[in-house]
Amino acid sequence: MLHVDDDPEFTDLSRAFLEKANNQFAVETATGADEGLDRLDTNPPDCIVSDYNMPGMDGLEFLRAVREEHPDLPFVLFTGKGSETIASDAIAAGVTDYLQKRSGTEQYDLLTNRIENAVQARREAERAERKDELMRLTEFAGGTGGFELDPDTGEVIITDGACRILDIPEQSNPSLDRNIQHYHPDDQERIRQTIQRACETGEQTQGTWRYHHPDGEAKLLDITYTPTTNGKTTIRGSIHNITEQAERQEELESKRRFIRQALDTLDDVFYVVDVDGTLRRWNETGRDVTGYSDSDLDGMSALELFPEDERERVWDGIRETLTGGIQTVEADIRTADGRRLPYEFRGAALSDETGDVTGVVGIGRDMTERRQRQQQFEMFFEDSPLGAVQWDEEFRFERVNERAEAILGYSEAELRGESWSMIVDEDDHDRVASVVESLLDGDGETHIRNRNTRADGETVTCEWHNRAVTDADGNTQTIFSTFEDVTAQRERGATDTD
């Protein structure tokens, strides 16, 4: 959209508010009508917002110049100088809407609403133009109508487009009292108050009301009331049927509520962070686990949820996720009360409809129980009276404990990366190879007694107990073995037999 005003500070402020109110707005500015016309020739906007009182060509002259080449381009006169004459001349010149500047940010909400409705109405009108008569189908497609109200008598002059919206015969001029009875009972008094406020303040007012005529369907109407004075006050207004828009919004909000509820049922922490690491979304679990309130988390850097010694690793994980897809990082969360909780975070890059990466979405899983089990396993592995070995997915040594080193005569460094065959007596290779193949195929547990060759060449007989650890698809990830030297038992058995 193009905003024309001779006050550049005001246009900069307006642009900031409008683009924040609707992220689809791209606001260009011009400080005068001549510059605005140049912009119109080179880059026609979807909508023009213009001040009235400007040096040289004023807002009405600018409007007339625009209408010569662009009779249907939405044009909103947004001015601090309001009068009946200006409003009447603007309507006569084909202004789309007329708003008076006010103090406070509410004026930008109203301006945003008017721009959205104006642009939407124009786009629908352009589609209708390709099908049938321009004027009649514009009113149908745009879902807009106009009226003029005499507050003293309650008499209403209403356009055919408004008649269609209100489900009353065209050319009707119903009274205010007769028309207002078709609005929701809870809205009727508020409508009267809104009209009265426009008359008393001389300022434009607006409301969204529920309407249902017996001959039509229930609707949601957005109505603007603009007071004009020419000896007496009249109200000129516009009616916009926003029923479909509201239904789409409600459907979208319903989907959002469903997603929020689904995410809040997760036992895991759900999170979304911006490319700069700022938290954008989280679920109830995230709030409960961290101990921070929603207001605390809003705008917080995700790194603030981690101890100082974890932050560099977490930030590296975020950056790698933004550029390289799915990443997994283990780190301790630091809660609001200072506790450290072990978590595993698995994140993926989040993209918008154009494919641009906008952040990271992921799940954090509490690793407390797993870490405790890991610590217990480490204690068992290292302190076990039996030899203990961890093999990789190709049955090569990864780790051994001190007892295994003592039985086999090799240090862990000497064994790491070596095959199982290094320590198995040649006469037992075939039997052990069969057990190895079974474990690599995912068989849970096996037991075997075989002869092993120590580092010093001595042969010892060992009893082995083996367990394969598999993933969700049944693929072997690692194998754990415990074993003991039973050479003495075997020799005693042989002696007893002799």
pLDDT at 231 exceeding the cut of 70: no
- What's this model's pTM, rounded to 2 decimal places? 0.39
Which residue, chain included where needed, has tokens 């009972």? Answer: 185
Between 171-175, 241-245, 268-272, 298-302, the lowest mean confidence (pLDDT) is in: 171-175
Query: CB within 8 A of 192, min separation 6: which ones?
Result: 180
- What is the average per-residue pLDDT within 162-177? 82
How much is the average pLDDT of 443-461?
A: 92
Query: How do the residues of the chain divide into helix, strand and coil, expressed in percent and rounded to 5?
Result: 45, 30, 30
Mean pLDDT, residues 85-89: 82
DSSP state of 420: G
Contact 234, 227 (CB under 8 A): yes
* The pLDDT of residue 293: 93
Structure confidence by residue, pLDDT tens digits, 13-28: 888 998 888 888 999 9
pLDDT range class, residue 135, cuts 50, 70, 90: very low
**What does the mean pLDDT of the chain come to?**
85
CA distance 452 to 486: 11
- Average confidence (pLDDT) over 94-102: 86
Stretch among 240-244, 255-259, 283-287, 426-430 having the lowest mean pLDDT: 255-259
Q: How confident is the model at residue 72 (pLDDT cuts 50, 70, 90)?
A: confident
Based on its alpha-carbon atoms, the radius of gyration of the chain, rounded to whole angstroms, reads 38
Question: Could you write out the DSSP letters of every residue in 75-117?
Answer: EEEEES---HHHHHHHHHHT-SEEEE--SSTHHHHHHHHHHHH
Give the per-residue pLDDT at 139: 45
Asked whether residue 138 carries a pLDDT value surpassing 60, the answer given is no
Does pLDDT of 83 surpass 80?
no
Instruction: Please state which of the ranges 106-110, 221-225, 478-482, 493-497 shows the lowest mean pLDDT.
Output: 493-497
- Taking only the tens place, the pLDDT of each residue in 335-360 is 999 999 889 899 998 888 888 888 99
Q: Render pLDDT for 143-161 as a digit per residue (tens, 0 to 9).
A: 677 788 888 888 888 877 8
- Over residues 154-176, the mean pLDDT reads 82
The per-residue pLDDT for 23 is 86
The mean pLDDT of 95-124, rounded to a whole number, is: 85
Q: Which residue has the tokens 């709030």?
A: 287
**pLDDT confidence band for 495 (50 / 70 / 90):** very low
| Cα-based angle 99, 101, 106 (whole degrees, multiple of 5) | 90
pLDDT over 70, % of the chain = 91
Determine which of 260-264, 320-324, 358-362, 411-415 has the lowest per-residue pLDDT on average.
260-264
d(CA 279, CA 300): 6
Query: How far apart are the C-alpha atoms of 451 and 420, rounded to whole Å?
Result: 12
pLDDT digits (tens, 9 = 90+) for 319-337: 999 887 788 888 999 999 9
Domains and CATH numbers, the chain: 2-135 (3.40.50.2300), 143-245 (3.30.450.20), 266-366 (3.30.450.20), 372-497 (3.30.450.20)
DSSP letter for 302, please: G
46 vs 130, higher pLDDT: 46
Distance from C-alpha of 84 to C-alpha of 91, rounded to nearest angstrom = 10
Mean pLDDT on 377-390: 82
- Output the pLDDT for position 351: 86
The whole-number pLDDT of residue 141 equals: 43
* Cβ burial, residue 312 (10 Å; 0-12/13-18/19+): exposed
Q: Spell out a b/e string for 178-210, using b for 16 or more CB atoms within 10 Å of the CB, else e.
A: ebbebbeeebeeebeebbeebbeebbbbbeebb
- Report how far residue 245's alpha carbon sits from residue 299's, in angstroms, rounded to the nearest whole number: 30
> Which CA distances in Å does 167 have to 145, 163, 164, 234, 493?
12, 6, 5, 24, 105
pLDDT at position 136 is: 41
What pLDDT band is residue 303 in, cutting at 50, 70 and 90? very high
